[in-house]
Amino acid sequence: MARRYKSNLTWDDVTPEHLYLNRRQIMAGSGALIGAGLIGGQARAQEALEPNTWEEITTYNNYYEFGTGKDDPARNAGSLTTSPWSVEIDGLVDNPGTYSFEDIMSEVEIEERIYRFRCVEAWSMVIPWNGFELADLLNRVGVQDGARYVAFQTANRPEEMPGLRVPVLEWPYREGLRLDEAMHPLTIMATGIYGRDIPNQNGAPMRLVVPWKYGFKSIKSIVRITLTEEEPHASWNVANPREYGFYSNVNPNVSHPRWSQASERRIGGGLFARREPTLMFNGYEEEVASLYEGMDLEANF
């Protein structure tokens, strides 16, 4: 099992948004994470980028349950009821059950993580997430020896999610990780952005964030987590396995059938912003490449 990284950051260290966009404040605020070894060599150069603004992060989203346009989620997600909220945890665990969001939050350690976030459409952001390591939650419910994968499911509420009326995908939205990916210290359950509660359009009240994978792997508004021996269904992989592999690691050498993944466009850079080279594993190669040692990353894309 990957070791847990420790940080000496507390809520008192969270930088106000208007100061967060100052480069010196960013580096001071993330220094503890860098010192802890959380951010690797390639990633350090990228994490020095300024985080995107709250407006950019919360108004340019993929969340098809609220529409397929990038601005649809911000316009439509206000209809989602996020309190009360509960998560069913079942499968190969010692303590299956339905856990309230409040109970989960009372048992975990909330941290601040500045992560690059890369979408398969070749756009990227830098987002200051607040959340906890998924491993914390899995360790608390007790992972049984036979578990090899973790499956996730999004809320399925047609009365609150207008996009569910359109069969873009097989609803509810589902995703999955291999157990070692789920237990990796970089994998978090995000509950906030910039120290505020995460907005509905970004996956309230709790979403997965796996920073070395394309954004669609980071499933939103989670209501169920299942530990399983078999590889779970993943919505985009089921819908179009030729274009969306189960692993979905950021890899500049594996093109999407309809466009290249070799470069990316930073949201917020303006109409004439230069494209940037895509980094292997989104810049987290030093931390996660060992998970895929010996695998053909073109066949297992």
H or E segment at 72? helix 72-76
pLDDT at 44 > cutoff 50: no
Band of pLDDT at residue 36, cut at 50, 70 and 90: very low
The model's pTM:
0.87
Summarize pLDDT for 131-146 with one digit per residue, the tens: 999 999 999 999 999 9
- Cα torsion angle, 221, 146, 188, 216, sign: negative
Q: State the Cα–Cα distance between residues 20 and 43, nearest whole angstrom.
A: 19
Least confident of 48-57, 64-73, 253-262, 267-276: 267-276
pLDDT digits (tens, 9 = 90+) for 277-293: 999 999 999 999 999 99
Provide the percentage of residues in the chain whose pLDDT is more than 90.
81
CATH code, domain carrying 161: 3.90.420.10
pLDDT per residue as tens digits for the range 196-206: 999 999 999 99
134 domain residue, yes or no: yes
Residue 195, pLDDT > 70, answer yes
Domain-located, residue 299: no
Q: Is residue 92 part of a domain?
A: yes
Average pLDDT over residues 86-114: 97
The maximal CA–CA distance of the chain, rounded, in angstroms, is 53
Q: How confident is the model at residue 34 (pLDDT cuts 50, 70, 90)?
A: very low
As a whole number, mean pLDDT of residues 226-232 equals 98
Residue 128: inside a domain: yes
Tell me the mean pLDDT in the region 124-130: 97
**pLDDT attached to residue 84:** 98
Q: For 153-191, what is each residue's pLDDT tens digit?
A: 999 999 999 999 999 999 999 999 999 999 999 999 999
In a domain, 3, yes or no: no
Q: What does the pLDDT read at residue 14?
A: 47
DSSP string, 111-122: EEEEEEEE-TTS
Angstrom distance (rounded) from CA 300 to CA 292: 10
The residue assigned the tokens 């969001």 is: 101
Q: Looking at residue 273, what is its pLDDT?
A: 78
Give a yes or no: residue 1 inside a domain.
Answer: no
* pLDDT(52) > 50: yes
DSSP code of 59?
Answer: H
* Cα(279)–Cα(181) distance, integer angstroms: 19
Whether residue 177 lies inside any domain: the answer is yes
Number of structural domains (the chain) is 1
What is the domain range of residue 176? 11-292
What was the pLDDT predicted at 18? 57
Residue with the larger pLDDT of the pair 21 and 233 = 233
Confidence class for position 270, pLDDT limits 50, 70, 90: confident
Mean pLDDT of the chain: 88
Number of residues written out for the chain: 301
Question: Does any domain span residue 298?
Answer: no
Q: Which pLDDT score, from 0 to 100, does residue 17 have?
A: 61
* CA dist., res. 281 & res. 14, Å (int): 27
